[in-house]
Every structure is written in structure tokens, then in C-alpha cells.
Chain A
Amino acid sequence: MRRINTILVLLVLSAIGFVMSLAVINMPEFGDINAPIHMHVAPRYMQMSYEETGVPNMVTAILADYRGYDTLGELTVIFAGGVAVLSVSGRKRK
């Protein structure tokens, strides 16, 4: 039984590994200018972010303006986590 399990696990793992290797082989070259990730919104951010947001720091422009919803959600998640910790361990001092 143990041996069958091991063989099964090995088979599934090697199948997953094979599929992942196929995906990795088909990925664009590292640093390729024409990769899809560099074609979609990145040029707009690099060329227009200062005019559109008035913020010289591109990372802040994306975080706080283009992806403002995301940052607000992030802050809410952290807030919820903090409130949860305080409600568990924030007992009144004697």
C-alpha cells in the first residue's frame, strides 16, 4: 500500500513538473523588451505617470493613484488583522 502511494505521488509530481517545465520553456527571454508584461500598461506608466498624477516617484504614483483601491484594501486587511490580534490578546491591564 505504502509503495503504491509513493509511486502515485511520484507520478503526479513528475506530471506537474513536466507541465511546469513546458510553461517555463515557452516563457519570453528574461529582460526581453517585447515580452507581454512590458507591452501592456508599463509604457503608459513610465511616460504619463508624472503628468497624470503629479508625483515624481513612479512606484508611489502606481500604489496610491492607479492602484488606489488595492492599497486601500491592503490597509483594511492590515487593520482587520491588527484588530483581531488586539481583540484576542489586548486584555485590560490589571
Chain B
Amino acid sequence: MNPVVIRTITRVLVPFIQLFGLYIIVHGPVSPGGGFQGGVVVGSSIILVALAYGLDDAEAMVNHRIRIIMDCVGSLVYAGIGLLGIAAGGLFLQYGIIPLPFPPARINNLMIFLIGSAIGVHIMALVLSLFLHTAKEAEVDD
């Protein structure tokens, strides 16, 4: 099979897939979608790069250290936003009470958006890690 076709199509498609994934993450509070789904879409775009160009190119795009950092940042941002509610004198994960110069519903909306983005970052790094490590393992075994 001629890799030129696959590589060219990948080069054209990947930005659009990533844009669509970001759209799903960002529009989580408004339309069907959210962090989990969008994160998987963005992660799978880089899996496509790994399939077309090889594992090393995908690894160069998002390397191991960055993936671990994204993983941890994603979950910590969620827990941290939950703790902000306690710091503002409310309950854990009570967003509306966080003191920002907006009405409570607006703050809620913003925090849910941030949480969705955090989930997206986390899931994207995780999906990518699972694929790249399993694929590398298989490559080493051969």
C-alpha cells in the first residue's frame, strides 16, 4: 500500500478532526458533547498520525512527559474547582458561591465549562497514552 495517499489524507484531515474535538469540548454546556467525548476525538486524531507516520512522530507531537502532566492537570483542575467552593465558604463542588463579578448562574456556567475542558485534556492524554504504550509494547515484542 502506498503510504503517500494515507499520509496526505492524514495531513489534511487531522486539523479538522482536532477542531471538531475542540468544538465538542467547548460546546459541552450548550449542545450534546462534553469533555469525555471531545477528548477522545482529539486523542484519536493523534492516533491517526501515529498510524500514518509511525509512533515516533506521534510521540514527538505529544511526548510522554507532556501526557503525564496533562493527565494530572486535568484531574487536579476538577478537584481544585471543587475545593474553590469550600474556600469560598460553601460546599465541595458548589460553584455558584465562588466570588466572581458575575451572577451565580454565569459563574456556574463558567465553572462547568472549565471542568469540561479539564476532563477533555485529561481524557485526550489518557487515550493517547494507552494507544502509544500498547503499540510500543507490541513493536518491542516483534
Chains A and B are bound partners? yes
B residues contacting A by CB (< 8 A) are 28-32, 34, 64, 68, 71, 74-75, 78-79, 82, 92-93, 95, 104-109, 112, 115-116, 119, 122-123, 126, 129-130, 133-134, 136-137
A64 touches B116 (CB 8 A): yes
Contact of B29 among A56, A75, A85 (CB under 8 A): A56
A79 touches B29 (CB 8 A): no
Interface flags, A39-73, vs B, CB<8A=1, else 0? 00000000000011111110111011100110110
CB distance from A31 to the nearest CB of B (A): 22
B133 touches A54 (CB 8 A): no
Give A53 to B34 CA distance when docked, in angstroms: 16
A residues contacting B by CB (< 8 A) are 51-57, 59-61, 63-65, 68-69, 71-72, 75-76, 78-79, 82-83, 85-86, 89-90, 93
Contact of A60 among B29, B122, B123 (CB under 8 A): B29
Contact of A90 among B34, B75, B133 (CB under 8 A): B133
Chain A residues near B137 (CB, 8 Å)? 89
